[in-house]
Amino acid sequence: MGAKLLCFCVAFTLVAYYIYSPIPENVEQPWKLMLMSAVFRTLGHVAEAAERLGLANYMDVLMLLSAAEYMAPTSDENVTVTDTEFSGVAVRLFLPKKPTEGLRRAVLYFHGGGFCVGDAGMKAYDFLARRTSSQLNAVVVSVNYRLAPKYRFPVQFEDAYSASKFFLQSRVLSQYAVDPTRVCVAGDSAGGNLAAAVAQKLLEDSEVTNKLKAQALIYPALQILDLNLPSYQQNANMPILSKSLMIRFWSEYFTSDPSLREAMTSNHHVPAKWGHLFQFVNWSTLLPDRLKRGHVYTGPVFGSPALAEKYPGFLDPRAAPLLATEAQLRGLPPTYILTCQHDVLRDDGFLYATRLRAVGVPVTHEHAEDGFHGALIFVTSPGDLAVGHRLMSGYLQWLEEHL
């Protein structure tokens, strides 16, 4: 009996040690976050082992989570759900059943996942789109853009843009009884990147006559120029999205060449020729003082031009919307930006909010001091993380008021 008890105690201690992750004090329900983090961490370890053994690509293993969370399109009493294609791009369509006297509003949504994982059919994204459609009585188009490593930049952007441009045609909007003056693009993380890039591109596309009413960017990834912002430093080892994983996502977006990932890790991937772009992400002037406290800004250390010549995508505003000029930002629709304090991408959102306001774009910036990356999508039932429910309610309320 004593030996069994001892074995149990040792096993329990080892499991607890593995699950435990240091969590900021102001994060509610820390054990829930630790458990989710342990699942992600375990999958990451399996992915690393599989890749080293030559059994599978790292991202292909991470996609197992998307597969496990996949839900077939299922209609309910409030929403009709179908999978279809817009201009050859897979989308999941959510059509509200509630009667309406006039035309409906619509949301084009791009899921997150670092451009490499995720699916519009995942339980979390299905739940978010379903709730959006039902609560706002809105048509929701959740876009299933193609993913890296099989497809590299700019395929993800082109899929997102093609689906958006197709939907914005008057005949298509009319088919779904959508008001052409009440369409929004939205997305989280990598999807927030795509939403921002699509909104910028639509401004300059003379073929698109129906313009966006709004854009909503949920902890968006908006630049690859400086991967050592204060938020990257402070949250380098935060659960769910660490600095190393974000850099892995960024590099895989463009190539499997490890030299780009290594250069990004040391923050020496931008050549001097493109040094002028740093003005767009200079956190010493664009971040609020409270986020700069304890950090000293140093100018960029430039890298070899070879990587930029080989993989120019990381200097392209379609991949890094923060690199757009003032002229390209001016005229963007009213914008909602959600940032989380405990997130490597926090400062990307702050920088974009500052730059948009500087050119006269109306910005609602919600910052969650107790938030972390992915908080909003970890909500599929009433018992899930309280911070996620709060952030989702805030996002939907903004849409209700501005769309």
CA triplet 226, 151, 332: central angle to 5 degrees?
Answer: 55
**Residue 76 DSSP SS3:** coil
Distance (Å, whole) CA 81 – CA 126: 9
Q: Do residues 363 and 382 lie in contact, with contact meaning Cβ atoms separated by under 8 Å?
A: no
Q: Do residues 378 and 389 lie in contact, with contact meaning Cβ atoms separated by under 8 Å?
A: no
Helix, strand, coil percentages (3-state) for the chain, rounded to 5, are 50, 15, 35
Catalytic residues: 189, 343, 373
- Sequence-ordered strand ranges (E) for 11-127: 79-86, 89-96, 104-110
Q: Which two tokens stand for residue 40?
A: 């992600």
Residue from 153, 189, 149 nearest 61 by CA: 149
Residue type, 385: L
- Cβ neighbours, 10 Å, residue 397: 13
Q: Which two tokens stand for residue 10?
A: 């040792």
